[in-house]
Amino acid sequence: MSPRRKTRQISLGNDRTGVVRIGGDAPVSAQTMTAGYTHAIDTCVAEINRLAAAGADIVRVAVPERKDTEALPEILNQTQVPIVADVHFHYKRALEAIEAGVHKIRLNPGNISDREQVNAVIDACKERGLPIRIGVNEGSIIERKDKQKRAVELGKYFAEHKSGHLIALMIAKLEEYLDIFDAKDFHDVCISAKSMDPALTIDIYAEISKRFDYPLHLGVTHAGPKETGCIRSVVALGTLLANGIGDTVRISYASDPVYEVEDALEMLYCLQLRPRIGAELIACPTCGRIQVDLFTLVQEVRKKLAAEISLPIKVAVMGCVVNGPGEAEGADVAVFAGDRRGIIYVQGERVANVTEEEILERLLEECRKFQAMVQRGEAQLGQKKVEIVPPDPIGELGSGFDKIAHHQVEQVTVGRT
Ligand code: SF4
């Protein structure tokens, strides 16, 4: 992991929603966008609240029409997470959204480029202390109105320098747009430059991170459904974050946006960029030694843990006792299946041996009990590791732990600088 790149910092929200800071020394935030109509107030409020409950730090809403900005005051009244108005084509939607009380504006230089219009939005945001995201993306960066210019840009785009041309175009557009903001001495800005191509996304952000010190909003646009979009997004965003680039992330799926939030948070937890909230579930992939219906069990455990456990308890669900114990080392609560039964351990101590049907409820009961003990100060997370001797011998080579204990292997210390 590389150290985080130093950026300016912006903030959005208020006492009611909580203030979210982006950039500087703020933790990387996870944001998402509603999938329904903003003017359908009740469903929009329900969706925003569902996304906030899933852990979204910021929620963006589309405001394509006047009726959408008219719905904002009521939506803001009924929600408690900072709201961003996503504005395309009509700068007046931005002015209306600002007037309604949103906490941030997103402008797309690809479709709002009139200097006077941008100035009007900057002035309104300045007056209220609101930040603006300048978000260019691949789909709208190529000229659309001027046919001659479009033909030239498309020609270059599809010629041999496709990616280089696109990156140059995005940077040029960002520089041109930022000149307007500089002229107004407005620096409450966050920038994004999204592509549908994960490799291109990595290249674009690596380049803009060298050129601008504004916080970066990362995303792969139009990544597809969760099943494939997850890989496309995490490959690009995870690579950038591991290299210290990125201050807020939005994963975009053609699926329920709750998945966007869950996956963004899991990515940030895995990269140790955010302290984990809720249980961490590890599970074996299963193999020919499997002793129970593990796939069903794991899904049920996952849902129940998400609903009931708030501490970062490490829970392992393993399909057998042959390799399971080694793979579950470090878990606070673990179950190993064997002959249609489950043997449950809490921090290395065997606490139950139950039938397959009883595993789910008993495992959850042990998780709840363990959580309560941690909350009362009677136990600590990760204090004792699960150490169970598997039934078959490890062999004459012995385990890594033995070798470390006898100084036969040098310990490696890793740490993030
Ligand atoms: S824990 Fe057992 S069933 Fe699961 S993958 Fe490992 S060896 Fe196979």
pLDDT of 98-155, one tens digit each? 999 999 999 998 888 889 999 999 999 999 999 999 999 887 766 666 777 666 666 6
pLDDT of amino acid 409? 59
Q: What percent of the chain has pLDDT over 70?
A: 85
Q: What is the mean pLDDT of residues 224-250?
A: 96
pLDDT of residue 320: 85
How remote is the CA of residue 298 from the centroid of ligand 1, in Å? 14
* Ligand 1 center from residue 302 Cα (angstroms): 18
Q: Is 288 in the pocket of ligand 1 (CB under 6 A)?
A: no
Mean pLDDT of 344-370: 94
pLDDT digits (tens, 9 = 90+) for 50-93: 999 999 999 999 999 999 999 999 999 999 999 999 999 999 99
- What would the pLDDT profile of 186-201 be if each residue is shown by its tens digit? 999 999 999 999 999 9
Ligand 1 centre and the CA of 271: distance in Å? 26
Q: According to the model, what pLDDT value does residue 169 have?
A: 84
Distance 318 CA to ligand 1 centre (A): 6
pLDDT recorded at residue 394: 43
- pLDDT value for 403: 58
- Is the shortest distance between the CB of 286 and ligand 1 below 6 Å? yes
pLDDT-derived band at 348 (thresholds 50, 70, 90) equals confident
Residue 248, pLDDT score: 98
pLDDT of 49 > 50? The answer is yes
pLDDT > 90 fraction of the chain, expressed in percent and rounded: 71
- Specify the pTM: 0.87
Q: Is the CB of 320 under 6 A from ligand 1?
A: yes
Q: How far apart are alpha carbons 308 and 404 in whole angstroms?
A: 38
Report which protein residue has its CA nearest ligand 1's atom 2: 320
User: Ligand 1 pocket, 318 CB below 6 A?
Assistant: yes
Residues 264 and 59: their CA atoms lie apart, in Å, by 13
Mutation choice for ligand 1 from 282, 284, 297, 388, CB with most ligand atoms inside 8 A: 284
Asked if residue 174 has pLDDT above 80, the reply is yes
Q: Does ligand 1 come within 6 angstroms of the Cβ of 290?
A: yes
78 phi and psi angles, rounded to 5 deg: -105, 10
pLDDT attached to residue 393: 42
Mutate to test the pocket of ligand 1, among 290, 329, 335, 388 (most ligand atoms within 8 A of CB): 290
Ligand 1 neighbour 41 (Cβ under 6 A): no
Our answer on whether the CB atom of 49 is closer than 6 Å to any ligand 1 atom is no
CB distance 125 to 188 below 8 Å: yes
Residue located via tokens 């999204």: 194
pLDDT the model gives residue 139: 72
pLDDT value for 61: 98
398 C-alpha vs ligand 1 centroid, how far in Å? 20
What is the pLDDT, as a whole number, of residue 417? 44
Q: From ligand 1's centre to the CA of 385, what distance in Å?
A: 19
249 vs 158: which has the higher pLDDT:
249
- Highest mean predicted confidence (pLDDT) among 45-49, 379-383, 388-392: 45-49
Report whether residue 351 contacts ligand 1, using a CB cutoff of 6 Å: no
238 lines ligand 1 (CB under 6 A): no
Query: Partners of 21 in the beta sheet?
Result: 11
Cα–Cα distance for residue pair 413/183, rounded to 1 Å: 49
Atom 1, ligand 1: which residue's CA is nearest?
324
pLDDT at 395: 46
Q: What is the pLDDT of residues 3-20, one digit of tens each?
A: 999 999 999 999 999 999
Atom number, ligand 1, closest to the C-alpha of residue 321: 2
Q: What is the distance between the alpha carbons of residues 346 and 369, in angstroms, rounded to a whole number?
A: 10
Give the span between the Cα atoms of 126 and 392, in whole angstroms.
69
